[in-house]
Structure formats: structure tokens, C-alpha cells
């Protein structure tokens, strides 16, 4: 037998068949095929595993890209979505008649992926040519950031968006957002408020109903945009004419509590809120608290009649000023005589109101002011609500001054709502900025009889008293003037005052309360340099009612007489002050007799 040292077996032919025996099956090739199969199977397994890994990696990467394209970066805004997954804008706000006050429109916002930006300096130069207000250092920092998403400019116009596309810079992309639009601009700005760049409510109705609006549920307000324009127009004219630092007003539906118009000046454009000074966003009607002056005499007289302290035939001695401790209470235009209860309102007598308040007493005064909602913040669907400033402690002198609106500060909204209770049968209804389609219940404060008597006296104030300039023929306007000096540094400043008129019409069946206020007005030749509520605020109310009447289908009509409750002379017991004077006279008489 020959020795095999390697190489090919000499008994095996090159074809794999044993030499000299062609009938035997080949054995070698079978072993060789099995080895190759194992190698191929192993390679195939490795390829499959590798492919799965790549698929998973692509899935993760794709998911992240989808997340970025839809949600933005971690610092980007979250977009409200329908059940279908499609992003939606903030819901609309309309006025009571369906007129659009606020809506959201789709807009493109520009962002950069710094990892894709090839030349940050070149990209910055190109963007600055389109948006010269951008700061280059800030822009460079965005284009070279380590993140994959950096906002460059939000809410571009279609023209701006096309201009960016024309630059052809890789790494610049757009994300669809929704921009809040206020079609009427400054009209109703303090009611609507505004949103930030991410569409989140940060003031006014936008903040109060932020969640509802973000969920796509629209809102219908009680505001009538037509009347809003009228009120703003007249207040702007008066503010300019009397060089006031501010003005405000509202129209309130006394039967439902709906605020039909509300204006505060100066105002701002909610489409660009930061373009105006911060003080322009201050709401004088709901946030500002002021000493509202003689408008408070309405509540003093109504309380006195309701509690039986006096009657329409009663009255008080207003011959000379009252001196209490270190204080002197006097009348602006003194009549220097005994005044009946209606005359105290007609001539706006501080002396008469102060004596009436003493007869009412502090506990009852506070009770009725509280029931009228004047000792707590108003209830209204706005975050901007002022807190009343009340005397603490509430002494006897405070009771006297609060009777004519001094020493207590409230919002104009609260005065309008309380006046609504006085004229509308004695029912106080909570003010609202939401449209009411059903009757609204209220809380009784005064009897219907007291309300009728107050309406008759308020009508007299306009027909022959301090509110004559608020009269509008055919509309039976009634109301009350109010003027107060502003308190600065613990002292009242004579040439800085708040002048107000609050009125209602028609007085035989009042439906609307109209209030106008001017902050620090200056008199002019047309007012003989007077700047009191009767001269500067009452005419504003008259002009608003004159334009509002035809708009609301309220035709002027003949009044048919005074239609006033005639006061019946009655013997009224001496008031608190009269009793004190009488007691003092008796003591003095006894001293003289003893001498």
C-alpha cells in the first residue's frame, strides 16, 4: 500500500468518482455541499439580523422626525388636535350677533436645523436682508446651536414665506401654526384680551376661557360690536376734548346683567399688544377702583327709603356745612336751605346725604352696600377685577362720607351693576360677558316701590338737576352725576378728579344702564372750565343713547307728563344730627339759666 502524504487521493478521480468503479455513488461532494450550506445559512442569519437592526433604527429615526415635524422641539408649542390627529386652531369668539371678534388663521413659522446649516454666516446674511429687525448675534447663535430645532421667526406672511423659500438654504424649514387674529382691532380689546405667540390666552376672555378655546369650543359674548364702536367713538371724542388721561364706559342690560359694551381708554391693538405702552392694557372699568363720588347717593337714598328712615316727603337741613371733628362736609353748589329727599338727589347735596346716612346707621349702610356687591370684587368673566377699598375702621365720619361716595373706592362696573338693581325693580343681577338666551334670576335688594321712587328722582336729576346734559328727548333718561378728587400721597388733589355719569333709560321701564367716566378731565370754554360729571360725562351718555336708540329699534316717544311719584308731605322725626343739636341746645340753656 502506498503512503499518502497529502494532496488528492489517487483513487478518486477529478470528477469525484472512485477510480475503476463507475457504479459507486460519489461520497466527497456530499460532505463539501453541507459545509457550504452551513456557511450560507450563517451569513443569511447575520444579514437578517443586520437588516432588522437597520429597520428599527430607521423606524426610531423616522418617528423622531415625525415628532419634530408635528410637535416641534422640546421647547416648541403643543398643538391641539382633532380626533383625526390633524392640528386645529384656537376656537372663534363672536359677539352676541355672531360677528367675528377673534379667530385663528394658519400661518407658516420659520425654524432651522443647525446640523444641516452649512454656512451660518451666509445664512444669517440672507435672512437679515429679509428680516432686518433680527439681531445678528442672536441669529448666529440659533443657526449654530447644538439642537436640531431652533425657531427663527414665527407667523410669517405668505410673501415672507415665499421669499425664504427662494433663498434655497438647506436647513431652513416651515412649521404650520395658527395665528390669533382680531378683525376689529382695538375694539373690545380689554374684553377680549390677547394671546401669546404660542396661542395661549394671557389676558381678558382669552385667558378666562383659555382651555375651552384651545379645545376648539367657540364662545359667544354678550358684547354688541356695533354699540362697542359707538361707545368707543364718543368716549374718545370726550377724552380728547377734555384732555383727560383716560376714560371708560359700559352699557349694561339691567334685565339680564349682560354687558353689551365695555370700553377702557387708552386701549391697545390685541393683534400687536406689546406695540402700545403697558398702561394701555389697564382696564379702568373692571380693574380700576375709584371714589365714584355722588353716584353713591343713589344707594344711600334707596337704602333710606327701603328701611323707612325717610320718605319721599322727608328732607334735611342743608343750610350750612357740617363740621364733624376736623372734617367739614359742604355742597358744591349749596342751596343753603332745607332740602326734600328728591332735592337732595336733584341738587346732589352732600350735607343732606351725610345726615341721611347717620339716620341709617353704619350697620345698615354696610349691609345694603354689601348686598349691592360694592364691598367685594365684582363677579365677571375677566381675570382683571379690582378689589374695593373700604374704610377700616369704619367710623361715624366714614358713614357720612361714604354716603356721597368719598372714602370708599370701587370699580365703575360695580356702580353700573348696583344702579341696575336700583332701577330694575330692586333686583341685582350678576354682570356677565356671555350672551344669555334665557331669563336670568337675580337677588332682591330693594322693593318694587323703592325702585319706582328712585326712578322718579333719577328722572328729575336729568330734567332739572345736575344731569341735565344727559337728557335725550323721547328716551326718558334718568341718572346721577358723580365727581370726586383723586387721592395722591394721602391728600386729595383738586385739579385731578374722576367725573362720572351713570344713567338708565327709559325710566318708565328701564332696560339699559349707561355709564361714562373721564379720568382727570380739564374743563374748556364749552363747559366754562368746569370738569364735573354733569359737564363732561353726562353729554357722553346722551350721545350714546341717541345713537343706540334707533340701532335697537327704540323709537322716541312723548313722555306724556312727568310720570313722577309726587312726594307727600309727612312729619318726619328729627334725624340723628338734629337730635344732637337739640340736646346741645338744652344743655346750653340749662347752663345759661344756672348762670
- Burial class of residue 97, CB neighbours in 10 A (0-12, 13-18, 19+): exposed
Peptide bond before 506: cis, by omega within 30 degrees of 0? yes
Instruction: Look up 294 and say whether it is catalytic.
Output: yes
List 109, 208, 222, 294, catalytic entry: 294
What is each CA distance from 408 to 290, 400, 458, 581, in whole angstroms? Answer: 8, 11, 22, 28
Task: Kindly give, in sequence order, each residue whose CB lies less than 8 Å from that of residue 294, ignoring residues fewer than 6 positions away.
Answer: 348, 350, 353, 404, 405, 466, 480, 481, 482, 483, 533
Task: Give the pairing of strands 194-195 and 172-181.
Answer: unpaired
Element (H, E) at 69: helix 28-71
Q: Specify whether the backbone of 251 is left (phi greater than 0), alpha (psi in -120 to 50) or beta.
A: beta
Q: Which of 374, 551, 565, 304 is nearest to 459 (CA)?
A: 565
CA 84 – CA 81 distance, rounded (Å) = 7
Phi, psi (deg, nearest 5) at residue 528:
55, 35
Number of Cβ within a 10 Å radius of residue 80:
16
Residue 343 CA to its chain's centroid (Å): 38
Phi, psi (deg, nearest 5) at residue 529:
70, 10
Number of Cβ within a 10 Å radius of residue 433:
24
Maximum C-alpha span of the chain: 174
Cell 365727581 sits on residue: 483
Q: Which residues are catalytic?
A: 294
Amino acid at each position: 500500500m502506498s503512503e499518502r502524504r497529502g494532496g488528492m487521493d489517487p483513487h478518486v478521480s477529478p470528477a469525484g468518482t472512485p477510480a475503476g468503479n463507475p457504479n459507486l455513488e460519489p461520497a466527497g461532494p456530499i460532505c463539501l455541499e453541507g459545509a457550504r450550506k452551513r456557511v450560507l445559512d450563517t451569513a443569511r442569519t447575520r444579514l437578517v439580523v443586520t437588516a432588522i437592526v437597520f429597520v428599527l433604527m430607521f423606524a426610531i429615526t423616522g418617528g423622531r422626525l415625525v415628532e419634530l415635524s408635528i410637535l416641534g422641539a422640546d421647547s416648541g408649542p403643543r398643538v391641539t388636535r382633532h380626533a383625526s390627529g390633524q392640528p386645529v386652531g384656537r376656537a372663534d369668539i363672536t359677539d352676541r350677533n355672531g360677528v367675528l371678534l377673534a379667530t385663528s388663521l394658519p400661518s407658516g413659522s420659520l425654524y432651522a436645523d443647525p446640523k444641516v446649516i452649512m454656512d451660518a454666516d451666509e445664512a444669517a446674511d440672507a435672512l437679515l436682508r429679509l428680516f432686518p429687525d433680527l439681531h445678528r448675534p442672536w441669529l448666529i447663535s440659533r443657526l449654530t446651536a447644538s439642537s436640531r430645532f431652533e425657531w427663527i421667526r414665527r407667523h410669517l406672511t405668505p410673501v415672507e414665506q415665499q421669499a425664504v423659500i427662494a433663498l434655497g438654504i438647506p436647513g431652513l424649514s416651515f412649521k404650520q401654526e395658527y395665528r390669533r387674529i382680531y378683525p376689529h382691532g382695538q375694539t373690545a380689546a380689554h374684553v377680549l384680551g390677547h394671546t401669546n405667540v404660542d396661542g395661549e390666552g394671557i389676558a381678558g376672555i382669552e385667558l378666562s376661557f383659555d382651555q375651552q378655546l384651545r379645545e376648539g369650543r367657540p364662545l359667544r359674548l354678550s358684547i354688541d360690536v356695533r354699540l362697542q364702536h359707538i361707545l368707543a367713538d364718543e368716549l374718545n371724542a370726550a377724552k380728547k376734548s377734555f384732555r383727560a388721561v383716560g376714560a371708560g364706559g359700559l352699557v349694561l342690560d339691567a334685565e339680564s346683567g349682560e354687558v353689551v359694551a365695555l370700553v377702557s381708554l387708552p386701549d391697545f391693538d390685541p393683534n400687536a399688544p406689546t406695540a402700545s405702552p403697558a398702561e394701555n392694557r389697564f382696564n379702568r372699568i373692571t380693574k380700576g377702583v375709584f371714589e365714584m363720588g355722588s353716584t353713591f347717593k343713589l344707594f344711600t337714598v334707596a337704602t333710606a327709603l327701603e328701611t323707612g328712615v325717610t320718605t319721599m316727603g322727608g328732607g334735611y337741613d342743608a343750610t350750612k356745612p357740617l363740621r364733624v371733628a376736623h372734617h367739614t362736609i359742604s355742597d358744591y353748589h349749596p342751596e343753603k336751605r332745607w332740602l326734600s329727599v328728591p332735592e337732595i338727589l336733584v341738587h346732589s347735596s352732600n350735607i343732606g346725604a351725610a345726615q341721611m346716612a347717620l339716620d341709617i346707621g353704619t350697620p345698615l349702610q354696610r349691609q345694603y352696600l354689601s348686598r349691592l356687591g360694592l364691598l367685594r370684587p365684582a363677579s365677571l368673566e375677566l381675570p382683571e377685577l379690582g378689589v374695593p377699598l373700604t374704610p377700616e375702621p369704619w367710623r361715624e365720619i366714614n358713614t357720612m362720607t361714604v354716603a356721597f361716595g368719598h372714602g370708599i373706592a370701587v370699580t365703575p362696573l360695580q356702580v353700573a351693576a348696583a344702579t341696575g338693581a336700583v332701577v330694575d325693580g330692586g333686583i341685582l343681577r350678576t354682570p356677565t360677558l356671555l350672551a344669555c338666551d334665557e331669563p336670568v334670576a337675580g337677588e332682591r335688594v330693594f322693593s318694587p316701590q323703592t325702585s319706582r321712587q328712585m326712578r322718579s328722582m333719577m328722572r328729575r336729576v336729568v330734567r332739572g338737576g345736575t344731569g341735565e346734559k344727559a337728557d335725550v328727548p323721547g328716551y326718558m333718561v334718568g341718572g346721577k352725576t358723580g365727581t370726586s378728587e383723586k387721592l395722591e400721597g394721602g391728600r386729595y388733589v383738586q385739579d385731578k378728579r374722576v367725573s362720572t355719569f351713570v344713567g338708565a333709560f327709559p325710566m318708565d321701564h328701564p332696560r339699559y344702564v349707561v355709564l361714562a367716566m373721564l379720568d382727570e378731565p380739564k374743563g374748556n370754554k364749552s363747559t366754562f372750565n368746569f370738569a364735573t360729571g354733569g359737564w363732561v360725562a353726562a353729554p357722553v351718555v346722551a350721545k350714546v343713547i341717541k345713537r343706540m336708540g334707533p340701532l335697537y329699534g327704540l323709537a322716541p316717544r312723548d313722555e306724556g307728563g312727568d310720570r313722577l311719584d309726587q312726594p307727600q308731605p309727612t312729619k318726619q322725626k328729627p334725624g340723628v344730627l338734629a337730635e344732637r343739636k337739640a340736646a346741645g341746645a338744652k344743655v346750653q340753656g340749662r347752663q345759661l339759666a344756672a348762670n
